[in-house]
Amino acid sequence: MQNDGDTAYRKTRRGKLKRALTADNYSGAANALFGDMADKYGKYFQEVRMNLEKANINMLFRTYVAQIFLTSVLTAFTFFLILLVMLPILGVNMLLSAVLLITVPSIMGMMALVFLYMYPSRQADQRGDNIDQNLPFALNQMSAVASSGIPPSSMFKLLTNFQEYEEIANEAEKIITKIEIFGEDLTTALREVGQTTPSDRFQEVIYGMISTIETGGNLNDFLEEQAESALFDYRMRRQKQIENLSAFASFYTAILVAAPLFLIAIMAVINMIGGNLAGFAIEDIINLGIYIIIPAINTAFVLMLHIKYQGI
């Protein structure tokens, strides 16, 4: 058992640094250096706590917050070292160098903090979208299984064997684990998973199942009704997505295909006549647009579509 002296040493900066350097992994180093700070400021990260469960990120809340602090500090320190080396090489004056050495690392460290703060939320949203996409088909299967008269828990056990349902299969596996490993009854397991699922629609289904089971209602009828409703919502959502994609296609054709071609043609004519634009040679502007600006805009557009409609 550690004495008070050992405990006090472990809380000192030197003690924390020694434990971080001897840690087995990044998480251990983060806990050693910033675990106390995570405990102190954890109340400001309660949204992260909820989203960690919804995102199915298997990491303790304290460890994740400590990693946020450590990554932010390392990011700021890395950019500080880069600027410290590059600024004298570039011949930047002392005053501007001092400003850049303070502002740039601070901004980059803050950006790292914000990114890691938002990451669980983004992952939870992606899981929720995935569940909503697969829910109509999973409910149809659950309804068919329920009509055969087998126990309700078996429906979820069967879902775990169908990885095509992706995140729904993962949610079903949580339910089965709580029942078979932790010995919980079905309604308790459903209620606990319903509290952490990232899909509001799936949460409604779970709570509806709990109510139906506890009141002795017909589970098959309930699942059939939910399957029809979910399928209708799915079709409406897909129709809206297709309409949005059609609008994006028109925007892409007009702004990113026709307009650049028109501008380049005009620039080519001006270049033949001679002259410049804002002090820049027309040929340089054309090359900049062809090799940098147009590819960059197209890449950003494709990435935006991929992020927004990756489930289609």
Using a CB cutoff of 8 Å and minimum separation of 24, what contacts does 236-240 make?
A: 237/132, 238/312
Inter-residue contact 143 to 223 (CB < 8 Å): yes
Q: Are residues 80 and 110 in the same domain?
A: yes
pLDDT value of residue 3: 54
pLDDT above 50 (res 46) = yes
Q: What count of Cα atoms within 13 Å lies in the side-chain half-sphere of residue 130?
A: 19
Domain count, the chain: 3
Q: In this predicted model, what pLDDT tens digit does every residue of 237-263 receive, in sequence order?
A: 888 888 888 888 888 888 888 888 888
pLDDT value of residue 1: 45
Q: Are residues 114 and 8 in the same domain?
A: yes
pLDDT value of residue 101: 93
Inter-residue contact 48 to 120 (CB < 8 Å): yes
pLDDT value of residue 261: 82
pLDDT value of residue 147: 85
pLDDT above 80 (res 308) = no
- For every residue of 40-89, DSSP letters joined together read HHGGGGHHHHHHHHHTT--S-HHHHHHHHHHHHHHHHHHHHHHHHHHHHH
Neighbour-count burial for 200-225, b at 16+ CB within 10 Å, e otherwise: ebbbebbebbbebbeeeeebbebbbe
Q: Are residues 88 and 188 in the same domain?
A: no
Confidence band (pLDDT; 50, 70, 90) for 9?
very low
More confidently predicted of 278 and 264: 264
Inter-residue contact 171 to 131 (CB < 8 Å): yes
Q: Are residues 230 and 259 in the same domain?
A: no
* Residues linked to residue 281 through DSSP beta bridges, in sequence order: 276
pLDDT above 60 (res 219) = yes
- Residue ending a domain, among 122, 151, 172, is 122
Q: Are residues 206 and 304 in the same domain?
A: no
% of the chain at pLDDT higher than 90: 46
Q: Are residues 34 and 67 in the same domain?
A: yes
Instruction: Pick the range with the lowest mean pLDDT from 17-21, 94-98, 305-309.
Output: 305-309
Q: Are residues 229 and 255 in the same domain?
A: no
pTM above 0.85, yes or no: no
Mean pLDDT of all residues belonging to the chain: 86
Q: Are residues 134 and 105 in the same domain?
A: no
Tell the burial category of 191 from Cβ atoms under 10 Å away from its Cβ (0-12, 13-18, 19+): middle
pLDDT value of residue 278: 64
Q: In this predicted model, what pLDDT tens digit does every residue of 115-172 receive, in sequence order?
A: 999 999 999 999 999 999 899 999 998 888 888 888 888 889 988 888 888 999 999 9
Q: Are residues 207 and 248 in the same domain?
A: no
- Residue ending a domain, among 204, 234, 264, is 234
State phi, psi for 175 to the nearest 5 degrees.
Answer: -65, -45
* Domain that includes residue 116, residue range: 4-122
Q: In this predicted model, what pLDDT tens digit does every residue of 89-120 receive, in sequence order?
A: 888 888 888 999 999 999 999 999 999 999 99
Inter-residue contact 83 to 101 (CB < 8 Å): yes
- Residue ending a domain, among 234, 259, 280, is 234
Confidence band (pLDDT; 50, 70, 90) for 284?
confident
Q: Are residues 260 and 209 in the same domain?
A: no
pLDDT above 50 (res 234) = yes
Q: Are residues 242 and 185 in the same domain?
A: no
Most confident by average pLDDT, 1-10, 287-296, 303-312:
287-296
pLDDT value of residue 311: 52
Number of neighbouring beta carbons within 10 Å of residue 239? 10
Residue type, 47: E
Q: Are residues 200 and 268 in the same domain?
A: no
pLDDT above 90 (res 55) = yes
